[in-house]
Amino acid sequence: MTMNVRNLFPSATGGVELFDEFFESGLEESVSPFLTPESRGWGKNIGLKSSLVSAFLLLFAFVFSFVPGQESLSNLLLLLTYFLAGIPALISSIEDIFDLEINIDVLMTLAAFLSVLIGSGKEGALLLVLFSFSGAMETAVRTKAKGAISSLKKLAPQKAYVVQPDGTLVPRSVKDIAAGTQIHVKAGEVVPLDGTVTAGASSVNLVHLTGENLPLTRDVGDTVPAGGRNLEGALTLTVTHTSSDSTLARIIQLVTQAQESKPKLQRWFDTLSNRYAMTIIGLACLFALALPWFFNISYLGNEGSIYRSLAFLIAASPCALIIAIPIAYLSAVSCCAKQGILLKGGMILDSLAKCQTIAMDKTGTLTTGELTCLEMLTEGNQETFLSIAYALERSAVHPIAQAITNFAQTKGILPASITDFHSIPGYGLEGKFEGKEVRIGNADWLLPDTDQVREIKERGEIVTVLRVGEEYALFRFRDLLRANIVPTLEKLKNKWGMRLLMLTGDHEASARRIAEEAGLTEYYADLRPENKLAYISKEENLAMVGDGINDAPALARASVGISMGKVGSTSAIDASDIVFLQDNIELLEWLVKKSHQVVRIVKQNVTIAAAAILVATLPALLGWIPLWMAVVLHEGGTVIVGLNALRLLGKK
């Protein structure tokens, strides 16, 4: 009997999580499927817990050092402090040295352990505890960002039904399905993998991939992208792309970029830190050897050159300066992830704070991407025709069906009695009413090439046709503005002084109507992708918000590209810097506000960190402050900038 041991371990969220998914996620060990639920609580934020325990051990060691006869207990507690806070740092520093990398971590570890040699073990332990606490805070923020974004995997199907040679269906993980495999997609399901239809016909809603509101008919030979929702009939697909090419894989790639990408200022500090560490270590050695030659001091003792050099080494270490920037950006990335906003990195917030103009696409961005039935046009009996349409559409999952159902219910119409009802996947529905044949569906199928249908389409609206015998009715549908988009745009204009404009490929009349409803005075219609790109290329400090494939070039060229996670196409998501995962564009003003907060807090942190270095360095070298004071000034500044950066985790 063969057992798949991967299925024996429940995930931290209650479902089943494969081991390979856990290792790829980069999450902390506390959610590992190897652990039992009881063990996970102990492993969560282990670095932060270890730092807190070390702090308490050091506190008790300090207290017992003043109690007569308790020196041995004090030394034991101090030894435990070095073990908990110092051994991890020592191991990491040794690895760095073997890699020929002398960085800030090496500098701090060296200072802490050398302090023992001059009888300042408590000061060295304080340095290790505060340095450990600073690193633990950064790790905790980074883990929160990863944990919030890891929930993205729930957006796409994790399994597909593979068609066996005998026609039976076997569920299988999408990761195990190769190109060329035949899969079965039932009505109402999301298409798990890209494929070509080999059997069946249906309407597939591709609004989140193309931005188009009207589902498309898919028949044998047509391609169907992953993420499309199959609305009516069952489809058999031959898989053309594996799960690694799916929309989910691309979003996860964005997550990886958000974790690894660093702002320009942080990259500059990272490059500087190694050279700086070598310089400070070299100067500390020079001062330790040279100070007795210029001042009347010894090498050893609390006033000696070695003691002063160690104090200088600690005070001059730019830990707060190095930590100030990444913690701020990681906090902001984590906060945005909780709000359903994915960032490619902290540098995007810098760019967004500089943007003075925001250009927006219309369909699926300013509008909902969902259809609303505006009216029914017919020369027949209004109530009877609407009752028949309601009866035909009430059990369908097509967005047009939902719009007609809502329209009829709003009018207080009851469904008619329909017999011989059946669906024609990809085209429409039919049945009989009082002996007459009734059909509802595509205008091209039921009433092609009429002036009235053509006029409605030219206005940028969607039309469907109901035929009752020889009579017919036309239903008009329109995509309406998002509910809270107008207040959002007003805040961007009035509070932040931003210039707003709309770039759309729709006709002039449709664009003008939406612009007026949204309160936009500047808009450009009938634009092709190259037109949008040309316009964006002329502007500096411009953010572009879009969702369709035709927006992708402009999103890539803009200072900041912002796309929609649900209705947005794969190309748009790839090209953008920011993804509104839940299409919650009403948070755009909040995001602009957050970007300005990040810039402000980074400046504050850099000022605090630089001040801590300047205030402590020279007095430490001249012997004006003891080693413990240098530690407090240095690592105290590190903790302050960390706590200041954590303010960005707040929603406001």
**Cα distances (Å, whole numbers) of residue 446 to 258, 442, 443, 474:** 50, 6, 5, 11
CA 184 – CA 163 distance, rounded (Å): 6
CA 11 – CA 32 distance, rounded (Å): 7
Q: What residue type is 498 in one-letter code?
A: M
- Which residues neighbour 422 within 8 Å (Cβ) at sequence distance 6 or greater? 429, 430, 431
CA 409 – CA 20 distance, rounded (Å): 49
Token readout for 315 is 């005070």
Strand order across the beta sheet in which 216-218 lies: 216-218, 202-205, 229-230
CA 109 – CA 127 distance, rounded (Å): 9
- Which residues neighbour 631 within 8 Å (Cβ) at sequence distance 6 or greater? 123, 126, 127, 130, 314
Phi/psi for 432 (5° steps) reads: -130, 140
Token readout for 265 is 């200022």
Question: What are the start-end ranges of the H helices in 176-318?
Answer: 207-210, 247-260, 264-294, 305-316
Token readout for 215 is 């589902």
CA 307 – CA 113 distance, rounded (Å): 13
CA 228 – CA 226 distance, rounded (Å): 6
Specify which residues 441 forms β-bridges with.
428, 465
Is 361 assigned a catalytic role?
Answer: yes
CA 394 – CA 402 distance, rounded (Å): 7
Among 194, 361, 547, 577, the active-site one is 361
Closest C-alpha among 190, 225, 212 to residue 400: 212
Vertex 93 angle, CA 88 and 94, to 5°: 100
3-state secondary structure of 372: strand
Token readout for 23 is 């290792």
3-state secondary structure of 562: strand
CA 507 – CA 456 distance, rounded (Å): 12
> DSSP for 97-153?
HHTT---HHHHHHHHHHHHHHTT-HHHHHHHHHHHHHHHHHHHHHHHHHHHHHHGGG
Closest C-alpha among 359, 336, 343 to residue 557: 359
3-state secondary structure of 174: helix
Q: Decide if 229 contacts 190 (C-beta within 8 A).
A: yes
Phi/psi for 510 (5° steps) reads: -65, -40
3-state secondary structure of 401: helix
- Which residues neighbour 296 within 8 Å (Cβ) at sequence distance 6 or greater? none
Active site residues: 361
